[in-house]
Amino acid sequence: MTMETTPLQKLSFLALRVLGSLIFINAGLNHLFSTAGATARLKEADLSYLAIWIAPAEILIILSGIGLLLGGFMLLAGFRTKLAALLLLLILIPITLTIQVASAAGTGPLFKNIALIGMLFFFIVNGARYYALDQVFDFKNKLRLKRKPVRAGAMAAILTAGLLTLLSACTASGPAAQTAAAPASADTGKKNYAVLISQPNHLKAAANTAEAITPASQYKRENFVVMACAKSVEGFVKGHAMAAEITKGKAAGATYKVCGMSLQQFQIDPATLVEGVEIIPNGLTYMFDLQQQGYVTVEL
């Protein structure tokens, strides 16, 4: 015996599925067409390290955007509904843990995501049930039962090939590919380098790199920029244990920039910073600007 017997009850399944899917479609579009902003939010999150160890933040945002868009449209159409809900759940849980937990925006976005997780669990268990493509294909499959294994195998092969193609394309267009393609400075053959750091202890690695990449070395350095974002800005407060590394980096020719948004997030007064650093309103967009100028960029 089932509970969904009246037309109104059946429509409630459709309303929940359609309205819920719009959230994921909108989020996917935002990740793909406003990648810089979504990347900045991920980088600025206190728990971003839970995700960015897997891959650079920009690639993660692009891949999650593709998954959100694909899963959102599948949920909207009621096509492979259980699989679509599972895909969206696997994307939503890491987003919730890295960005919404301990978010400065409060608990509202966190509990919104918790509600969405509950909705996805509902569709993972129940499927679309009514007014969905799943019912259409189930009917056709019953008529063509003998051909079902062939169809399933072909669909699996197509999905696998498509995912591999998307992953290859995203990897080729990510920061690593941009770094490899960065042109050398005109005439002199020297290059400009920029390092994006997110933790205070990265200052030591940046200083050691500045000492290794000198104008006289094989890298033929012209400029070396250290862009500090997220928690790394704490290392620039006067009296911090990393102060000596900053001094060493300056002596090696490094130029230090500090993200203004990160200073606000960690409530650091610019007046407490060590001398000789420049505050940049948005450190991530500044790195994008340097890439366009031909800098070879590295993210620690």
Domain range summary for the chain, segments of one domain joined by +: 7-173, 178-299
Q: Are 31 and 38 in contact (CB under 8 A)?
A: yes
Q: Per mean pLDDT, which range of 42-46, 150-154, 235-239, 277-281 is the poorest?
A: 150-154
Q: Cβ neighbours of residue 32 under 8 Å, at least 6 residues apart? A: 62, 65, 66, 69
Going by C-alpha positions, the residue among 145, 159, 143, 51 that lies closest to residue 95 is 51
> Best-predicted range by mean pLDDT among 139-143, 180-184, 214-218, 290-294?
290-294
Rounded percentage of the chain residues whose pLDDT exceeds 70: 79
Tell me the angle at which helices 35-44 and 283-292 cross, rounded to the nearest 10 degrees: 130
| CA–CA dist 230, 299 (Å, integer) | 13
Q: How far apart are CA 16 and CA 184, in angstroms?
A: 54
Tokens of 115: 């509600």
* Sequence-distant (≥ 6) Cβ neighbours of residue 18 within 8 angstroms: 76
More confident site: 130 or 170: 130
Question: For position 151, what pLDDT does the model report?
Answer: 52
Nearest of 75, 72, 36, 83 to residue 57 by alpha carbon: 36
Asked if 120 and 85 count as a contact pair (C-beta separation under 8 A), the reply is yes
Residues 6+ apart with CB under 8 A from 55: 63, 174
pLDDT at 146 over 60: no
Asked whether 53 and 108 are in contact (CB, 8 A), the reply is no
- pLDDT at position 185 is 41
- How confident is the model over 96-133, as pLDDT tens digits? 888 777 665 567 778 888 898 899 999 999 888 888 88
pLDDT at 140: 67
DSSP H or E stretch at residue 195: strand 191-197
Tokens describing residue 85: 């809900």
* Section 225-251 average pLDDT: 91
Q: What is the pLDDT of residue 299?
A: 84
Specify the fold of 178-299: Hypothetical Protein Ychn; Chain: A, (3.40.1260)
Question: Is residue 93 scored above 80 in pLDDT?
Answer: yes
**Higher local confidence (pLDDT), 235 or 167:** 235
Residue-level pLDDT at 39: 80
Mean pLDDT along residues 167-176: 45
**Quick one: pLDDT band at residue 236, thresholds 50, 70, 90?**
very high
Q: What's the rounded Cα separation, in Å, for the pair 182 and 172? A: 14
* Residues facing residue 194 across a β-bridge: 225, 297
- pLDDT given for residue 104 in this prediction: 52
Nearest Cα to Cα of residue 67 among 137, 166, 156, 149: 166
Residue 258, pLDDT score: 93
**Residue 16 to residue 38: CA distance in whole angstroms:** 26
**Mean pLDDT calculated for residue range 45-60:** 76
Whole-number pLDDT of residue 177: 38
> Model's pTM, two decimal places?
0.46
Cα distance between residue 139 and residue 165, in whole Å: 32
Mean pLDDT of the chain: 79
Taking 3-state DSSP, the helix, strand and coil percentages for the chain, each rounded to the nearest 5, stand at 65, 10, 25
